[in-house]
Amino acid sequence: MAVTFQNLTRANEIGANSYYLGFEKNGLLLDAGVHPKIEGALSKPVLERIQHKDVHALLLSHCHLDHVGALPIAAHQHPEMEILMTMPSHHLIDRILHNSVNIMVKQREELNLVEYPFFTHSEVDRLAGRYTPVPFRRPVPLDWRSGDHTAVSFYEAGHIQGAAGILVEHDGKKIFYTGDVNFRDQKITRHARFPEEPVDVLIAETTRGGKEVSPDWSWENEQRRLGAAIREVFERGGSVLIPIFALGKTQEMLFMVWEMMQEGVIPRQNVSIGGLGSTFTSIHDQLASQSPRLHPEFKFRQELEIDVLEYEKARDIPIGAGRLMLISAGMMTPQTSSYILGARMLHHPLHGIFFVGYCDPDSPAAQILRTPPMGEVRLDPQGPLLQRKCRVEHFDFSSHCNRDEMIGYMKIARPKTVFLVHGDLNALRWFEEKLKGELPDARVIIPEPGREYEI
């Protein structure tokens, strides 16, 4: 029986994620995200491609916006569609989508984007009744109207709380979607535990395909470097801003900061985080013993003095000496707290701005990183020219696996067909080339957007 795969994104890149698996009488949607770097209509995947197809269920890998941000649009388009996700994702999704409405409403005004918001708060509220949380590693049979035998299982993907790789078993065929994956332990997120039996089809993320694996890179080494940098700034009387993603990286970094305090690398003190980061930190505490993670007994609110810095305060809060701020957005996108604070701190030689995650080359974060000490930078076209006098560093705390680890997993899964997704062109090409040697019999495909591939 023919099964088809269709890439619903607009380009082969690190952008929105959404893929369609078509079966004879029905289909499944894998994620429905928005492009993190694009505003407006072009940030959406092309869901119109499946408008007239049956979609039995949407299977959500995790709650980052590039995987979940267009979910309400897909749900509106397919009112019968079930929506399956892991239990931690079920606790996170509401806050993510409501926050997304808030951002779109703000951008509608500021950027004059009349198509925003794509959905409203009440639509998000109404969706809640359609979510089905599913346990990890237990096959869930899908009740096809057609009577086909299909089951889906969610496997821990290690990337952030609740993240999953998704196995679809259909008439004896195994199709596995990695979502975003990390095969190593982070600070509190436990490593991925993917199926170890061979699969027929693998849909694999390739985020780090363009990045050579350095033998001396590790979170531990980066943590030592970061600890020394924070300490240096504090000792000369400055404050530290760490622009950061609210979900995932904020909690990993908070744990790291706690360890630094325990070890005496930095003094015991308050840590400021953003409002959304605070919400997700509370959810981490709430689910500590129920979701797959390390240190389930550790509660952020008990172990750390956390204060919340709301967006409205970012403009005039005194920065002074010795403040440690873990504030979103991670790439210092304009109109976020980290952007406002960063612009205030950049021209003060005592302070430090430390980036800890991926920085898109066009983002304000990358622009600051490219600016030499005492050089000038304009963070957005309407903004003033700023001089970079503070200390700026980039640390690599990726929550994705490196490319060699992904190849290692591919050799365990031994797929007959591999679809390479969620990577920039050079990353995709690296995997394509590498797999010629590592899996010579596999059909390796960089799926052209919109094209249907029979599998």
Q: Site residues (CB under 5 A) for Zn ion?
A: 64, 180
Nearer residue to Zn ion within complex by CB, 180 or 252: 180
**Element holding 427 (H helix, E strand):** helix 425-438
Q: How far is the CB of 76 from Zn ion (least distance, A)?
A: 23
Min dist. Cβ of residue 422 to Zn ion (A):
9
Spatial CB neighbours of 450, under 8 Å, sequence gap ≥ 6: 6, 7, 8, 46, 49
Q: How far is the CB of 105 from Zn ion (least distance, A)?
A: 24
The residues near 4 (Cβ < 8 Å, ≥ 6 apart) are 20, 21, 22, 452, 453, 454, 455
Alpha carbon 347 to its chain's center: 30
Cβ neighbour number for residue 429 with a 10 Å cutoff: 17
Residues of 258-267 as b/e, b for ≥16 C-beta within 10 angstroms? bebbeeebbe
Shortest approach of Zn ion to residue 245 CB, angstroms?
9
Distance CA 141, CA 182 (A): 27
Distance of CA 57 to the CA centre of its chain: 22
Residue among 391 and 422 whose Cβ is closer to Zn ion: 422
Distances (CA, A) of 67 to 22, 210, 239, 340, 388: 19, 21, 34, 27, 34
DSSP string covering 369-426: HHSPTT-EEESSTTSPEEE--SEEEE----SS--HHHHHHHHHHH--SEEEEESS-HH
Shortest distance, CB of residue 198 to Zn ion, whole angstroms? Answer: 26
Nearer to Zn ion, 64 or 78 (CB): 64
- Closest distance to Zn ion from the beta carbon of 64 (Å): 4
Spatial contact of 160 and 246, defined as CB atoms under 8 Å apart? no
Element (H, E) at 454: strand 452-454
Q: Which is nearer to Zn ion, 188 or 261 (CB)?
A: 188
Kindly state the smallest distance separating residue 65's Cβ from Zn ion, in Å. Answer: 9
| Residue 142 or 365 having the CB closest to Zn ion | 365
Q: For residue 250, give the amino acid letter.
A: T
Residue closer to Zn ion, measured from CB, 63 or 304: 63
Least gap, CB of 104 to Zn ion (angstroms)? 20
Closest to Zn ion by CB, 169 or 180: 180
User: Residue 399 and residue 136: Cα distance in Å, rounded?
Assistant: 20
177, 165 Cβ separation under 8 angstroms: yes
